[in-house]
Structure 1
Amino acid sequence: MSRTLVAAAAQMGPIALSDTRREVVARLIALLHEAASRGAELVVFPELTLTTFFPRWYMTDPDEIDAFYETEMPGRETLPLFEAAKKLRIGFYLGYAELVVENGVKRRFNTSILVDRDGEFVGKYRKIHLPGWDAPQPDLKSQHLEKYYFEPGDLGFNVFEAFGTRVGMAICNDRRWPETYRVMALRGSEMILVGYNTPDDHTGNFDFDSLTQFHNQLSIQAGAYQNSNWVIATAKAGHEEGSNLIGQSMIVAPSGQIVAMATSTDDEVVVAKCDLDMAALYRKTIFDFARHREPEHYRLIVENRGPLTS
């Protein structure tokens, strides 16, 4: 008898700057109820789920910046989401901006958490591959300042025992880097959860930006196939505060096939019954790491941050 997990990608439409946490959480709870009614046991929400994608703006007022971050999880405004999920007996992945104070110093991370069906924390991840810039770029109409608002994650790519399988987490730009998937696969993951906010107008190069949707599918499908993992990837989508977010929330099998995908750029739930043994099948054949990998030839990947200069 195969092991299965019914998973859902709960895509969010645009979140306005003026939207409150309470309003956003109400939308998340509605998506939870829909997912539960369709048999989902695990729901994946997007990156920075609770607010608009604020790194598109350059801000200098500390109080204005701090308002986008969570200092506790759950907090007063997010607690209803945890309560609803526990009542529905459904787990979830949630992305948000995290502010912690360590030794009197504020540290800011782009974070996701995994919560089980009992409402208990399973794990936390902090985004490692931060895209964009650490200062405004005068030649770009649309800014992307994640390196200004966050520091790279310090928790690594861990894998957690949950939902009858081994689950890893990543956030947005992480999905473009093959190392992301491979590290978790080497730790035995069978499912990787990814939240993202991806605009198609952030480079200023039309030819590049016009391929954003293709690159999104390509990176997720390749990561799933080459590492024998299910990937649940969930977007914030639509026209948000002048920026176009692509959507395309999807569930991808270890074969690299897309088994479910959102068809809108609004709040939408896509669900699939994931055969967890399918990951094991690929790992016993084409991607039998222990039998086929030759790591002595891969040292350059970790020994050099960028290309060799000579």
Structure 2
Amino acid sequence: MNTGVTVALIQHAGDGSAADVWARIEEGLAQARAQGADLAVLQELHNGPYFCQWENAAEFARAEPIPGPSTERLGALARELDLVIVGSLFERRASGLYHNTAVVFERDGRLIGRYRKMHIPDDPGYYEKYYFTPGDLGFTPIATSAGRLGVLVCWDQWYPEAARLMTLAGADMLIYPTAIGFDPRDDEAERARQKEAWELVQRGHAVANGIPVVAVNRCGHEPDPSEATPGIAFWGGSFVCGPQGEWWARASDTPCVLTAPIATHRVEQTRRVWPFLRDRRIDAYADLQKRYRD
């Protein structure tokens, strides 16, 4: 991995028109470059609202092919700003076949890789199984001028297997575009537990694998289109942590561009002291391929 890489996390609200949201994206990317970023990461499904709060066939109209209009636009921005960009799109692969897909662009604007979300939730407010087919591209880092990016998406962040497999494939950092927040009906104690668990599990991936973690979340309240619930209060809280889970940068719950240098030398230092990869008992892990050990 190149040394001296600075990452920017673009955290914004998803409400308003498509033009409004794209203006936020473009402004955030320009600000990221002005702050010295080499790599910019956008939040999950950044082109608009988090439409998975309900099941409605009309929402499939939001999907687009890859390559397509959004990849052309992001590629042009990557080229103009001299940035590596990680985006997150609703991919129309074929009629009736859709994915939640991350895309990666090199500084020259080329679309150089994609990752299709592997773990798909189906919970109140997060009805993603209605829209997305599970990914079929596996856990393969994408090589860029900013390093080998282990790109995963939101619900993937709760699974240590995904983080481990990206690490074993040579990722220099783990990157999670995300859309997660509170049910406004939850009390303050429950909200705190959920947010702390979200941070803790990802910091655990950093520690267990000796690798930096970048998590980019949306912010702001988005109503439930069905009006069956009060909607979701996305908590923001985007962050970057180091290979011992140490905080390198943390955002609040408001729109921002959060930048942080990626201290690449810390990976080697940490893995020498905590050689978890060396001491893995790969001969004893066959049961991980089972749903449950009865």
Q: Provide the TM-score with structure 2 as the length reference.
A: 0.90
Q: 1:219 aligns with which of 201, 211, 224?
A: 201
Is 1:55 aligned to 2:52, yes or no? yes
Calculate the aligned-residue CA RMSD, in Å: 2.1
Q: Does 1:70 align with 2:67?
A: no
1:239 and 1:203, CA in 2 relative to 1: closer, same or farther beyond 3 A?
Answer: closer
Superposition deviation, residue 65 in structure 1: 2.3
Alignment partners' CA distance in 1, 2:185 and 2:266: 37
Contact 1:248 1:263 in 2 (8 A): yes
Which of 75, 83, 87 is matched with 1:90 structurally?
Answer: 83
- Cα deviation for residue 71 of structure 1 reads 2.0
Counterpart-to-counterpart distance in 2, 1:48 and 1:27: 14
Contact 2:235 2:253 in 1 (8 A): no
Q: Which runs of 5+ in 2 are unaligned?
A: 224-230
Q: State the partner residue of 2:282.
A: 295
Q: For residues 154 and 232 of structure 2, what CA distance do their matches in structure 1 show?
A: 16
Aligned to 2:17: 19
Aligned to 1:138: none
Measure, in 2, the Cα distance between the counterparts of 1:57 and 1:100. Answer: 22
Aligned positions of 1:220-259 closer than 5 A: 220-241=202-223, 242-259=231-248
2:113 to 110, 120, 123: 123
- Is 1:111 the counterpart of 2:101? The answer is yes
The CA deviation string for residues 6-51 of structure 1, in whole angstroms up to 9 with x for no partner, is 11111112x22x522x322221110011111110010010111112
Worse overlay, 278-287 or 151-160? 278-287
Partner of 1:262: 251
> Equivalent residue of 1:189, what SS?
coil
The size of the alignment, in residue pairs, is: 286
Alpha-carbon displacement from aligned partner over 1:165-209 (angstroms, at most 9, x marks no partner): 221100001111101110011111111111000022299798655
Cα distance in 2 for residues equivalent to 1:195 and 1:227: 19
Preserved contact between residue 113 and residue 123 of structure 1 (Cα < 8 Å): yes
Query: Which residues of structure 1 form unaligned runs of 5+?
Result: 134-141
One-letter amino acid matched to 1:282: T
**Which amino acid counterpart does residue 279 of structure 2 have in structure 1?**
H
Q: 1:81 to 1:122 in 2, by over 3 A?
A: closer
- The aligned runs of 1:124-139 (5 Å cut-off) are 124-133=114-123
Alpha carbons 2:38, 2:146 under 8 Å: kept = no
Q: What TM-score, normalized by structure 1, do the two folds share?
A: 0.86
**Cα distance between partner residues in 2 of 1:275 and 1:188:** 17
Separation in structure 2 between the aligned mates of residue 149 and residue 264 of structure 1, nearest angstrom = 27
Secondary structure of 2:89 counterpart: strand
C-alpha distance after superposition, 1:256-297 (max 9, x if no partner): 11110112332x1111111212112223331352x3111122
The separation in 2 between residues aligned to 1:52 and 1:156, in whole angstroms, is 27
Q: 1:5: which partner in 2?
A: 5
Tell me, yes or no, if structure 1 residue 187 matches structure 2 residue 140.
Answer: no
Report the Cα offset of residue 66 of structure 1.
2.1
